Amino acid sequence: MTNISNWSDYCVATYRCYDAKADFHKKALGIAVGMTVGSWTDLPETKKQSMQKHLGHIVSIEVHEPGESPEVTERYADIRIAYPDVNFTSELSALLITIFGKVSMDGKLKLIDVHFSERFYQAFQGPKFGLDGVRDLLGVHDRPLFMSIFKSVIGHDLAGLREQFLAMSLGGVDLIKDDEILFENPLTPIDKRVAICREAAEEAKQTTGQNILYAVNLTGPTFKLREQAKKAIDAGATAFLFNVLAYGFDVLHELSSDPEINVPFMAHPAMAGCFYPSQYHGISANVVLGKLMRLAGADIVLFPSPYGSVVMPREENMAIKHALLTQDFAVDYLSEGADATNKLKRSFAVPSAGIHPGLVPLILRDFGHDVIVNAGGGIFGHPMGTVAGGQAFRQAISASQNGIDLQSYASSNGCAELQSAIDTWGVRS
């Protein structure tokens, strides 16, 4: 263990290491030294003095043995290592390579948390709009937001997209996003796609009175993304969907902090399955889909829900929610009285995949008022059509906000759309 007087100069990584027989102190020391100065005991004393400022330090080791509680069935240790700022620059790529580069391949070892030094933390503005800014753009502050997803987009022309967009808009959605697999193509190039969908949004507004944010998928060669984003904004883009894990957190940071790209960013979780699901390897969901997304500038973050077709355990959902909505990330948890002066704006949480109106009470129970209810098949698959599918969700949101069970609300208010959704998908409790 170590006694560091100024934690503001260190980032702290927490690892969970599984091993039936390992000396966890030796393992921790190997990480602390191996991921920083490389070697310590072999260095001459004069060299150690100059290298001391670069050395990683063991903060704590918590060993858990099988049988100590019903949840512990294998021997493991939670190991915290402090990494000095002097070793890396203020990019998330530099930090991730430092704390989880080659060690990510060293046995059953998972990165489960990270706290940032004050210097590192101050280098990031976080979400430009954040949860409150997105609400301001829409003019909606009194309820959860509601988003729809294009379905069947590849091979459709602009007229086909416009038809889908208009139907979703008339159903009462606040946001519409592209499918993450819709890339630049001759049928629906980004500037024309934006223009035709904004036109449909304005048409729907004449009926619903609602503003709509359209998150168009920002894709292309990495070094041309800024140019592509500006082209879309010139055409009227109001938000971007971005496949962050394919391009990298630093790319999101560069784009979201660009003063000429003044629209919210929605982070898609594509490829996240390479990181969080394993008990023994990768990076925990609260880090890869929570802390790092928010720090890099995502205003809205999608991730698998605990309820639908692509399921993430509820406790992991709650950890992401905590990271996006409430948590400060600096290492002040280690220093009494310390305070991070750069408070990040909150990001919207969007539990997704397989969502239908009967799941809305669970979503609001777990995520509260500040959540985006996100649906695709639950809208397009409604027996009464796409518009009715959207209306059923709005009715379910209203019922849940008022603490009324969905069946009672549908019956007492004559909500045929919600009743049809209940008859089709049921209600989860």
Catalytic amino acids?
Answer: 102
Which residue has 């009470």 as its token pair?
361
Nearest residue to 123 via CA among 349, 268, 347, 340: 340
Q: How far apart are CA 427 and CA 399, in angstroms?
A: 13
Token digits of residue 179: 């499918």
Distance of CA 426 to the CA centre of its chain: 28
> What tokens does 104 get?
């990510």
Beta strands in 66-118 (DSSP E): 76-84, 109-115
Tokens of 81: 């290592």
The closest of 17, 245, 12, 32 to 110, measured between CA atoms, is 17
Question: Long-range contacts: 137-142, Cβ < 8 Å, 24+?
Answer: 137/211, 137/213, 137/238, 137/264, 138/174, 138/175, 138/210, 138/211, 138/212, 138/213, 139/211, 140/174
CB atoms closer than 10 angstroms to residue 298: 30
Structure tokens at 73: 């069935």
What backbone torsions phi and psi does residue 240 show, to the nearest 5 degrees? -125, 135
Q: How many C-beta atoms surround the C-beta of residue 22 within 10 A?
A: 17
> Dihedrals φ, ψ of 153, to 5°?
-110, -30
Burial of 371 (0-12, 13-18, 19+ CB in 10 A): buried
β-sheet with 372-375: strand ranges across: 348-352, 300-304, 265-267, 239-242, 213-217, 175-177, 145-149, 372-375
Amino acid code (one letter) for 164? Q
Q: What are phi and psi of 29, to 5 degrees?
A: -65, -35
